[in-house]
Structure formats: structure tokens, C-alpha cells
Structure 1
Amino acid sequence: MTPLPEHLRQANRARTQEAEKRARTALTELVKAGKPISFTAVAHRAGVSTDFLYRSPQLRTRIEKHRTKIGAAPPDAADPPNDASTSAVVRALSARLKRQQEAHREEAARLRKALQVAQGENLDLRRRLARYETD
């Protein structure tokens, strides 16, 4: 394989440096805004791939450092409040879901068994038909 011409190497280097600059800027903006830091968030904001961030040792180190600083993400505002009525509803729905799952499992097992019986009967009838046709 022939080496790249110098002008293409320079263009590649410039493109990489520009992408690194965008990633550093995106990381700084996310930190200042107090947003959760992740490789995906930085990549999306900078317009680069997550693979690019993982392959860049300096960017990777900075993102991991900021990611551990923030810790766990704050609770989502869409989470329901923790009151007794909500818990009771969740428990009731969970129990109902478990009963339905068990009923579906039993029905699937019953249908599987019926299918096996039907396939056995089908095979038996084919064998009997083959015996009559050869005579």
C-alpha cells in the first residue's frame, strides 16, 4: 500500500484537530450547563463519533474525569412521587402482570404440547400413505 501524499496527511491532521477542538468545546459547555457528562452527550454536541472520543486518550481522560465528578444522574422529573397510593397501584399492577405472564406461559406450553401431538399424527399419516402408494 502506498503512503498518503503529504497534503492528504495534513488535511487529515487538520480535520482531526478541528474535531478535537469541537469535542473540548462541547465538554466545556456541558460542564458549565451542569448537564450529565457522557461520551454520547459530548459526541452528539460536538458532531463527532463516540469511537473518536474513545480513541483520543486526552479527550477520553477528560470525559471520564468529569463523568465521575458528577456521579449519578439526578432523578428524572417524570418519576412519580413516592406515596402510598402509587405504591399500592404499582404492586397491584405488578401482581396482575405476573398472573397474566404465568397464564400465557401455561397456554404456550399447552399449545406446544398440542403441536407436538399434531406433528406426530401428521408423520404417522404420511408414513401410512406412503405404504399404500407403493402397493
Structure 2
Amino acid sequence: MPADNAHLIVAAARRRAAATRRRATSALRQMDATGTVITFEAVAREAGVSRSWLYNQPDLRAEIERLRARHRPVPAARPVPDRQRASEASLLRRLEAATERNRQLEAENRELRQALALALGERRTADICGIRATATSPAARAIGPC
């Protein structure tokens, strides 16, 4: 008659279950401590257990869901309702206006650079020739009084 070794099989199963639980708990604590994103899949991969096993452990499942919710980013603001959003035509008009303003500013910058170059040239010429610059020179009129 064969020996009844059922108690040994039961004990081994209990040890294996306890080791699995320790790995899952340890992985969960480590992931939380390091700030790793906590999901069932990530915990299962880290602990070397199946996701279905995690889902079937009420305490571990509750802890994963709690930590996952805690690390979930809070939206900064509510989305703007459709009726308050700018229409495509409105956005295009704003873009056209901004583009036109940029063109105007570029032209003004070109004129100012030319006037500055002219004024600096006249000043250099005056310094070399010993002539005092007057406020009636074309560059002085373009730049204006300081």
C-alpha cells in the first residue's frame, strides 16, 4: 500500500502560494517607492505572477487600484465646451492678422536699421572730418530726437 503524502503536497502548495504573495507584495511596495506607474500588468510582470491571479486576490487588487488612482494625473482644467471654442474661420482670420502684423513689423525694422546705419555712417564721417552732426540730417529726422 502506497504512503499517503497528501499533507506534503498541501504544504508545498501553501509555501508556493505564500512565496507568490510575498513577491507580489514586494513588487508592489518597490514600484510605489520608486514612483513607477502601477498597473496590474506591470505588477504581474515585476512579481512574476499572472494578472488573473492578481485580480483574484481581493487585498492586492484593492491596493493596486488605490495606488493606481493615487498616481493618476489630475486634469489641469476642464475641456472648453464646443460653443466656446473658436471656429476654424475665426482662427484663420487671427492667423492672417498676426501674419500681416509680422510683415509690418519686419518692414519697420528694415527701415529703422537703414536709418540707424545712415546715422552711424554720418556720425563716423563727422568724427573723421571733425564736423559736428546736426539735427537736420536725414538720419536724425528718420530716427527722431532722443
TM, length-normalised to structure 1: 0.49
**Higher radius of gyration, 1 or 2:** 2
Bigger fraction of residues in helix:
1
